[in-house]
Amino acid sequence: MISNGKSKTVIELHVNGDSHEVMVRSGDTLLDILREQLGLSGAKRSCENGDCGACTVLADGKPIHSCLSLAIESCDQSLMTIEGLMGSPIQQAFVDNWAIQCGFCTPGFILNCHALATEHPNASDEVIEEWMCSNLCRCTGYQEIKEAVQSVVRASGNA
Amino acid sequence: MIPFDFEYYKPATVAEACETYRTLQEQKKSVVYYSGGTEFITLARVNQISADAVIDLKGIPEVQVLEMQGDQFIVGSAVTLNQIAESRLFPLLAQTVRGVADHNSRNKITIGGNLGSRLSYREGVLPLLLADCKVRVAGGMKGEGERVVSLSDVFDKQLNLEQGEFLLQILVDKEYLDLPYVHLKKTKQSKVDYPLVSVAALVKDKEIRMAFSGICEYPFRLGEIEEVVNNTTFARKEQLKQVVGKLPAAILDDLHGSAGYREFVFRNVVQETIDALEWAQK
């Protein structure tokens, strides 16, 4: 049985292919630890309520809100933050489609889109919209983001 | 960040979970069972819930089951809503839970957490109430035993388990999985929102069964409403009036929708549901 008392404990997190020892309270969210102990600031702190998707990371390939996960429950998962995503087609698609405005929501969107294109290489518009509902862009650049995702999905679907 | 400290335990077996709970209780500690954790973290962050310890159930193999076993569809309580939606073994349940929260959140929200939610909606229970399902419950202060009971015995407005008990599995008979069904969810504006009205319906033995969330303070299935819905001697207008009259509690009246608006939406949703399932009654 895994257990942790009220004092801080060292756990191991597997992030972007590397293992890191971090010292956590049970109440520390994954977002807290990624940003404050590992310096991975790509996951943004925003609503902290699971509403905006700015803190999205991948846990075993699935997009989750890192503000709604405890760090301690994540130690048996393979985590990916935006810093670990290199050379993904979705990143170039965001550039090509001008799918970035202020950029605050971009890491969350890109990770979510990357997971979508990986899991559903032939995603329909309905599936794309369902997945994209997890992230908010306050600059409201949704159309460009959708076009970026569609371009990647179309490309992988034709491959 | 959660502003208070608590102990965290992740048992690997039902027996370990039960023993951990009892030990913590003997130490006079408040304990919360934890699965997806989205609601716990959300409420704890703003001090609306507190605990001395949480017991994370996800390490117990039985709560991760999602498969057919003989003539039963078994869903472990820590199976996520997206896993259920993607499995499509029970299409009505799949469609209903697909309407809960957003896609990322559904990668964490579990069916057990949805049924035990403090929020009033608990939409995941609607198809289960229609399917006369059973639940396997473990824990409690008396022993380490498990019991299998009808969901309706432990779910009245909310999940009512005894102290120290937790939901282990949901058991649905195969005969309910492929029945004609409808699920409709109406929100005020956004796709991702709490429902003004959510209805799940299926047809069994040519009778429509309906369960609702959003319209009243709690989710429910009511035989009196189903009697009216299946009474073909009523004109539709009178039928809808009767259904509204049978609601078990006052219609919700809040920021998401006034009582009047909810009633309007409710009537339309009931009508749409009956229209969609009429063919299966013949």
Q: How far is A25 from chain B (nearest CA, A)?
A: 7
Q: How far is A18 from chain B (nearest CA, A)?
A: 23
> Do B253 and B170 fall within a single domain?
no
Enter the tokens of residue B154: 């432990």
pLDDT band at B144 (very low <50, low <70, confident <90, very high): low
First-to-last CA distance in chain B?
A: 56
Please tell me the predicted confidence (pLDDT) of residue B153.
Answer: 95
Average pLDDT on B47-73 reads 96
Q: Residue B178 above 60 pLDDT?
A: yes
Distance of CA B19 to the CA centre of its chain: 27
Pairing relationship of beta strands A78-80 and A9-15 according to DSSP bridges: parallel
CATH number for the domain including B204?
3.30.390.50
Distance between CA B34 and CA B15 in Å, rounded?
A: 16
Kindly determine whether residue A5 and residue B4, on different chains, have CB atoms separated by under 8 Å.
Answer: no
Q: Residue B274 above 90 pLDDT?
A: yes
Interface predicted TM-score of the whole assembly (ipTM), two decimals: 0.95
Kindly determine whether residue B37 and residue A68, on different chains, have CB atoms separated by under 8 Å.
Answer: yes
Mutate to test the interface with B, among A64, A74, A140 (most CBs of B within 10 A): A64
> Do B77 and B150 fall within a single domain?
yes
Per the structure, how many domains does chain B have? 3
Boundaries of domain holding B229:
181-281
Please tell me the predicted confidence (pLDDT) of residue B169.
Answer: 98
Please tell me the predicted confidence (pLDDT) of residue B193.
Answer: 84
Kindly determine whether residue A27 and residue B108, on different chains, have CB atoms separated by under 8 Å.
Answer: no
Superfamily for the A9-83 domain: Beta-grasp domain (3.10.20.30)
What value does the CA radius of gyration of chain B take, rounded to a whole number of Å?
19
Please tell me the predicted confidence (pLDDT) of residue A2.
Answer: 75
CATH number for the domain including B112?
3.30.465.10
Distance between CA A63 and CA A130 in Å, rounded?
A: 13
> Do B24 and B55 fall within a single domain?
yes
Kindly determine whether residue B42 and residue A63, on different chains, have CB atoms separated by under 8 Å.
Answer: no
| Among the ranges given (A148-152, B246-250, B269-273), the one the predictor scored with the smallest mean pLDDT | A148-152
Classify residue B245: in a domain, yes or no. Answer: yes
Distance between CA A21 and CA A5 in Å, rounded?
A: 17
> CB-based contact (8 Å) between B1 and chain A?
yes
> Do B230 and B170 fall within a single domain?
no
Residue that is last in its domain, among B176, B211, B242: B176
Residue that is last in its domain, among B23, B42, B59: B59
Share of chain A above pLDDT 90, in %: 81
Kindly determine whether residue B1 and residue A6, on different chains, have CB atoms separated by under 8 Å.
Answer: no
Ranges of each domain in chain A: 9-83, 86-158
Please tell me the predicted confidence (pLDDT) of residue A130.
Answer: 93
**Same fold for the domain at A9-83 and the one at A86-158?**
no
* B79 CB-side CA count, 13 A: 24
What number does CATH give the domain A86-158?
A: 1.10.150.120
> Do B65 and B172 fall within a single domain?
yes
Average pLDDT on B237-246 reads 94
Q: B159 CB contacts (<8 Å, ≥6 apart)? A: B115, B116, B122, B167
> Burial of B241 by CB count in 10 Å (0-12 exposed, 13-18 middle, 19+ buried)?
middle
Residue that is last in its domain, among B176, B199, B228: B176
Q: What is the mean pLDDT of chain A?
A: 93
> Do B111 and B81 fall within a single domain?
yes
Q: Residue B143 above 90 pLDDT?
A: no
Mutate to test the interface with A, among B2, B6, B8 (most CBs of A within 10 A): B8
Average pLDDT on B224-228 reads 96
Q: Residue A17 above 90 pLDDT?
A: yes
Distance between CA B18 and CA B137 in Å, rounded?
A: 12
Which residues in chain B have their CB less than 8 angstroms from residue A25's CB?
Answer: 2, 5
Beta strand segments in chain B, E: 7-10, 31-34, 53-56, 66-69, 72-76, 134-139, 146-150, 155-156, 158-159, 165-173, 181-186, 197-204, 207-213, 220-221
Please tell me the predicted confidence (pLDDT) of residue B42.
Answer: 96
> Do B157 and B247 fall within a single domain?
no
pLDDT band at B1 (very low <50, low <70, confident <90, very high): confident
> Do B89 and B47 fall within a single domain?
no
Please tell me the predicted confidence (pLDDT) of residue B202.
Answer: 97
> Do B192 and B172 fall within a single domain?
no
> Do B156 and B208 fall within a single domain?
no
Q: How far is CA A150 from CA A122, B150, B158, in A?
A: 9, 46, 42
Which residues in chain B have their CB less than 8 angstroms from residue A72's CB?
Answer: 8
Distance between CA B149 and CA A69 in Å, rounded?
A: 32
Average pLDDT on A98-108 reads 95
> Do B158 and B212 fall within a single domain?
no
Q: Residue A3 above 90 pLDDT?
A: no
Q: Residue B140 above 90 pLDDT?
A: no
Distance between CA B202 and CA B181 in Å, rounded?
A: 4
Please tell me the predicted confidence (pLDDT) of residue B245.
Answer: 95
3-class SS of residue A64: strand
pLDDT band at B139 (very low <50, low <70, confident <90, very high): confident
Q: Residue A81 above 70 pLDDT?
A: yes
Q: Residue B215 above 80 pLDDT?
A: yes
Average pLDDT on B56-62 reads 97
Q: What does the pLDDT look like over A64-74, one tens digit per residue?
A: 999 999 999 99
Q: Residue A44 above 60 pLDDT?
A: yes
Q: Residue A159 above 70 pLDDT?
A: no
Q: Residue A158 above 60 pLDDT?
A: no
User: b/e for B249-275, b at 16 or more Cβ within 10 A?
Assistant: eebbeeebbeeeebbebbbebbeebbe
